[in-house]
Structure 1
């Protein structure tokens, strides 16, 4: 049998080229790759209008990449019961409800009634039936204790509040075994990874990450989607 390459002499072994995916070091994605990943699943007019309402209200929204991940997680869990802290204008809610089964119900909590009014508009535009959402106005720590233990498949938290660790405690209580908790904005504008950043919000998110990572009931992973999406499954 002949040799494929005519320039390898007898007695000499060719050095194989390293596989491009087996580089020994971890490399951060380039800005172009990050942008490609964030927009890999394009948003439709429903989400675009919901984002415009958020801009008008001066309210931040979940990034497209993180929203797409939430939809996939909801679909993988076949999540019929989801809790969301921070309704906003419905951007994350639309992603969640589109991933959930047709009979799934989203319980969403927000202190601002105006936000929930805007979210209702987004849900209606998305063709989501009103009985698939349960909107509760109020502070999360006043509402969450009234929800049933172990009755939920997925809980979405928003980083950026000083009481987010207390939200985590409630989320673990609410989740069934095999359910998941997600924390949006878990890298907080690239501040969490920088030990020099010690403002109260950054510190609280950093402590939340440690609490999730060290929690005996949770199996965690941190994704760099959007502003950072921290995911953990309840064992």
Structure 2
């Protein structure tokens, strides 16, 4: 791949981000601004919009969102549920879980919203093994890399057949100067080798690994 191709790909990425930002509704825009003002950087708008789209097209009714202050992604998942179903947010950061709970409280006050929302301040290692097997359509994993492998360990048990687990920020595969590449490559290998899943790696946003339970 030559320099011109890389430049063109970067322009496409930039256009996709700007387009997705333009699609964000007022609630998401405010949540993004508030989170970043509170010191919680938010991820790619195109990535969050794709998560919303996947939720809708999957007709998901039960979601687990594992993250560290992933406010925008969580809101887009809620939007994808279309006012019904359930979403459980698992966040080990105190600031992140407080913001998510405040947002969920606002949704609960709406008479038109029949979505069951809960926010749990703990790690996936502690919480996910407690959940019922075979009852979830979608698990989305973001934030610190220590969230990733424990979530995948539980995924085959928690997901319905045809359910998906999505790992964001897989661009960590390319980071040269920290432990992210090793963690991400190990995860990628483990997902590839697991007979329960088919997977695809996409550069959308900050990189997404999408795996479907057979």
TM-score of the two chains, using structure 2 as the length reference: 0.85
Which residue of structure 2 lines up, in the alignment, with residue 73 of structure 1?
Answer: 54
Alignment of 1:141 with 2:95, yes or no, is no
* 1:81-120 equivalences in 2 (<5 Å): 81-86=62-67, 88=69, 90-120=71-101
Aligned length: 204
1:59 to partner: Cα distance: 1.9
1:169 paired to 2:150: no
Moved more, 88-97 or 171-180: 88-97
Cα 1:93–1:163 shift into 2, 3 Å: closer
Q: Name the structure 1 match of 2:182.
A: 203
Match of 1:40 among 12, 16, 19: 19
Contact 2:90 2:121 in 1 (8 A): yes
| Contact 2:123/2:147 (8 A) holds in 1 | no
Q: Which runs of 4+ in 1 moved over 6 A?
A: none
Q: Whose helix proportion is higher, 1 or 2? A: 2
- Across the aligned residues of Structure 1 and Structure 2, the Cα RMSD in angstroms comes to 2.3
Distance 1:172 1:75 in 2: 22
Structure 1 residues 33-60: Cα deviation after superposition (integer angstroms, max 9, x where no partner) = 1111223232222222211222223223
Aligned CA distance change for structure 1 residues 87 and 104 (closer, same or farther; 3 Å): farther
Q: Is the 2:83–2:114 Cα contact (8 Å) retained in structure 1? A: no
5+ residue gaps, structure 1: 1-26
Q: Is the 8 A contact 2:85 2:115 kept in 1?
A: no
CA offset at residue 202 of structure 1? 2.2
Q: Is the 8 A contact 1:89 1:116 kept in 2?
A: no
